[in-house]
Structure 1
Amino acid sequence: MKIFNIKSFVTVVFASLIFVSVAQAHNHKDKKDIVDVAASNPDFSTLVAAVKAAGLVDALKGDGPLTVFAPNNAAFAKLPAGTVEDLLKPENKDTLIAVLTYHVVAGKVMAADVVKVSSATTLQGQDVAVKTMDGKVMIDNAQVIATDIKASNGVIHVIDSVILPKS
């Protein structure tokens, strides 16, 4: 009888260790903040470079929660030639900050919530228009192409165009 109890005990301990390892791995994934999530995806390399050039890394690593409408590299490539390079210059930092903060909304707005609003105030201070048409969600003139990418301090929705604040 003792052998059976020892085997049972070893089985329970082993199963518990596996559960704890899986739970820690899952929780570690949830520890990635918005910047970490974006930096781990090569489709956001231009956005990450812009965030660094603007000095916004710490702000986007903060507690949040924040919602980021994140243009992917293809979205940045749609801009006129030389635009990204110009924005990344130190003398254009204020403009870059305005453009990037126009892509961020305070609070964690999941895809199911986005379709319930017609506008949202960005951290830049202006509102973005939110429209749903033909099953597509539009943020200003950009289509949301991927939703609900979770981070420890908010959520990312991928958009297919860079949106610009009104002059």
Structure 2
Amino acid sequence: MDLKEIQNLIKFVSNSGVAEVKLETGDVKITIRTTLEGNAPEITYLQQAPVQQAAPQVTATPVAPIQTAVVPAVAEEITKYVTIKSPMIGTFYRKPSPDKPYFVEVGSSISKGDVLCVVEAMKLFNEIEAEISGKIVKILVDDMSPIEFDQPLFLVDPS
């Protein structure tokens, strides 16, 4: 379990209202306790096996200059789209089950209230519905990927 996963777990536990969570995966044992006053959670690491990794090889490579003329055009194009963001931490699923088709594809027309995806959080599957009507321009997350609160999921063209 890496630091980012632990941070995501801490955020999720502190936002969920749960007083204590114990997690054991492989050689890692973690206990997270939150206080009722809303203070930062208390974390106790019980045991973790050492991980040995080879040092990465560093090589010098020339860096190409950034073309500034492209950046404003891309930023201008993105601002006309509406971003649909995740309301919670969890696992992003594009299908209701493995044998079913995707909820939406790039180019799909959506209406307000249409289900776009499912986010699994603590074994609960939460349907994420469209906040606006429009057309899916881009899907920003891969299927079955972990996501964070407020992470962009879809770009929608509302026109």
Output the TM-score relative to the length of structure 1. Answer: 0.25
Compare the two structures and name the one with the higher helix fraction: 1
- By relative contact order (CA 8 Å, sep 6+), the higher-ranking structure is 1
Bigger strand fraction: 2
